[in-house]
């Protein structure tokens, strides 16, 4: 592996006092030390974005689109470098990192098309005067993002914000600062000064950015941080889009294709070592097929080996850091202490790296932390229900979260009925949930506030304005 250069971000380099220690979670080795942006640097970055905002907002859409479409080529040129950085900084298997990086150039045409539709002028004329609704950019958007998809999460905010005419100050997660720096270089390459600014740091820097002179905060991260941001943004009545955590259920009725349901349960509990906002976190299996389902799940989950993301046979890399691994382990221990049966894994691996094995728990009690709080780790958490549809819905909804849900049943009508009654933003029926890229991505209940994606999501980066013109005017 080539030695990695320190962050090239101009803002962060100048006067920073503190350093972020960028650690490889598979080895514990230091990858780089990245200067943390000082409060003055955060203020200066926001001031540059503010100074550029009016002009960028006035650029004709086709010119903005042209500038942003050029980004696709740079993504393609640097997709290997980006994938290497993703695996190095947060640990996911290289093949998955490669999929994440190669998808970036492909999304640009859709971004431009969606922005074009979101910004289309609406004619709402009544009577003799003409009235049009136009959409203005909000101004300066703070983009604050997590580490679990170090490329896809930032682009889900940066691209719509820029395409709809806002300038952006971007703070990547402290776990993936080099991914963030390269992303900012790639996207910001051809843009006028101040249109995309980068600041580096952890929560304190994020909080400074929220308090700064920004008009909107586009945030993807945990519910706890989302709450803090909402409180802090209240003073200035700043616009918010918060995409937060989840505790997604998977309901398996006895008449379902159990093989397919078990595959969904295992893959989507363990993918990315469980560090996915819409992971399957609770599986409710009808009593009568419990034994068979456990057998299927165990057979599949035991094939999920872990190891460095650069080893092709690793299906899971490490957890992002030891704190995350300890949090998962504490939830497993709590569930077992309250009566859950440990069927696989559940032990802290020795040696360097923050690895946690594929873990399967059965009979996870409602009272356990694992049943209520986001786990964000490689655990298949099984419980049962008596087959009653209303009970399945009640269990699925027994959470404050509402991000995703999945239901498997041989009765398609029942699948749809249950999907309609689960209080979440996305539901998969006899398949894992996966929205169309044209649908909004929604965190219902405490999984979010506002949403990203689709025409409606893009419009959240704008404010509508009605212009009425006297007849003959």
Instruction: Name the residue among 47, 68, 71 with its Cα closest to residue 59.
Output: 68
Q: Which residues in 206-225 are b (16+ Cβ under 10 Å) and which e?
A: bbbbbbbebbbbbbbbebeb
Closer residue to ligand NAD, CB minimum distance, 131 or 397: 397
Measured from the CB atom, the residue of 80 and 322 that comes closer to ligand NAD is 322
Interacting residues with ligand NAD (CB under 6 A): 144-148, 153, 171, 173-174, 202-203, 206-207, 210, 220-222, 225, 228-229, 243-246, 277, 374, 376, 403, 441, 443, 448
Structure tokens at 168: 């952006």
> What tokens were used for 237?
């009545």
DSSP 8-state symbol, 20: E
d(CA 34, CA 13): 8
- Determine the Cα–Cα distance for residues 332 and 357; give it in Å rounded to an integer: 12
26, HSE (Cβ side, Cα atoms, 13 Å): 20
Q: How far apart are CA 234 and CA 73, in angstroms?
A: 40
Cβ–Cβ under 8 Å, residues 389 and 414 = yes
Judged by beta carbon, residue 279 or residue 359, the one nearer ligand NAD is 279
* Sequence-ordered strand ranges (E) for 116-227: 122-123, 130-137, 140-144, 167-171, 196-198, 216-220
Question: Are 159 and 68 contacting, i.e. CB atoms less than 8 angstroms apart?
Answer: yes
Distance separating alpha carbons of residues 48 and 70, to the nearest angstrom: 23
Minimum Å distance from CB 173 to ligand NAD?
Answer: 4
Tell me which of 96, 100, 197, 243 is the catalytic residue: 243
In angstroms, what is the minimal distance from the CB of 89 to ligand NAD? 12
Rounded-to-integer distance, Cα 106 and Cα 257, Å: 34
Catalytic residue check, 243:
yes
φ and ψ at 204, to 5 degrees? -65, -40
Question: What is residue 401's DSSP assignment?
Answer: E
Q: In the complex, which residue's CB is closest to ligand NAD?
A: 206
Any idea which residues carry the catalytic annotation? 243
């Amino acid at each position: 592996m080539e030695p990695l250069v320190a962050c090239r971000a101009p803002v962060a380099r100048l006067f920073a006092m503190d350093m972020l220690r960028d650690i490889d979670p598979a080895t514990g080795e230091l990858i780089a030390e990245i200067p943390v942006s000082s409060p003055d640097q955060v203020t200066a970055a926001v001031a540059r974005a503010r100074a550029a905002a009016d002009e960028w907002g006035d650029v004709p859409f086709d010119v903005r689109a042209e500038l942003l479409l050029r980004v696709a080529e740079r993504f393609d040129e640097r997709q290997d470098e980006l994938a290497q950085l993703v695996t190095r900084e947060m640990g996911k298997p290289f093949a998955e990192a490669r999929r994440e990086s190669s998808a970036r150039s492909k999304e640009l045409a859709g971004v431009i098309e969606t922005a074009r539709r979101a910004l289309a002028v609406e004619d709402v004329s009544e009577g003799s005067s003409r009235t049009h609704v136009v959409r203005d950019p909000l101004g300066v958007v703070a983009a604050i993002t997590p580490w679990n998809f170090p490329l896809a999460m930032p682009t889900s905010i940066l691209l719509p914000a820029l395409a709809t005419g806002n300038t952006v100050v971007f703070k990547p997660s402290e776990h993936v600062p080099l991914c963030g720096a390269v992303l900012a270089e790639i996207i910001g390459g051809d843009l006028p000064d101040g249109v995309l600014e980068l600041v580096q740091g952890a929560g304190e820097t994020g909080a400074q950015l929220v308090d700064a002179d920004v008009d909107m905060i586009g945030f993807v991260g945990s519910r706890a941080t989302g709450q803090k941001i909402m409180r802090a943004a209240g003073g200035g009545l700043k616009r918010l889009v918060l995409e937060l955590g989840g505790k997604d259920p998977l309901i398996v009725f006895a008449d379902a294709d159990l093989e397919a349901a078990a595959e969904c349960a295992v893959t989507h509990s363990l993918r990315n070592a469980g560090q996915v906002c819409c992971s399957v976190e609770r599986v409710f299996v009808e009593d009568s097929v419990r034994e068979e389902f456990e057998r299927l799940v165990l057979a599949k989950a035991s094939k999920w080996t872990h190891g460095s993301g650069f080893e092709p046979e690793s299906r899971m890399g490490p957890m992002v850091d030891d704190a995350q691994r300890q949090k998962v382990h504490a939830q497993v221990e709590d569930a077992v202490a309250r009566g859950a049966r440990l069927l696989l894994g559940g032990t802290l691996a020795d040696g360097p790296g923050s690895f946690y094995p594929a873990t399967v728990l059965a009979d996870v009690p409602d009272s356990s932390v694992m049943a209520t709080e986001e786990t964000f780790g490689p655990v298949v958490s099984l419980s049962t229900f008596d087959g009653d549809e209303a009970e399945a819905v009640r269990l699925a909804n027994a959470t404050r979260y509402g991000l995703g849900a999945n239901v498997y049943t041989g009765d398609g009508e029942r699948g749809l009925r249950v999907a309609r009654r689960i209080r979440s933003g996305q539901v998969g029926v006899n398949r894992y949930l996966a929205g169309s890229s044209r649908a909004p991505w929604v965190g219902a209940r405490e999984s979010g506030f506002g949403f990203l994606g689709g025409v409606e999501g893009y419009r959240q980066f704008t404010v509508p304005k009605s212009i009425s013109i006297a007849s003959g005017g």
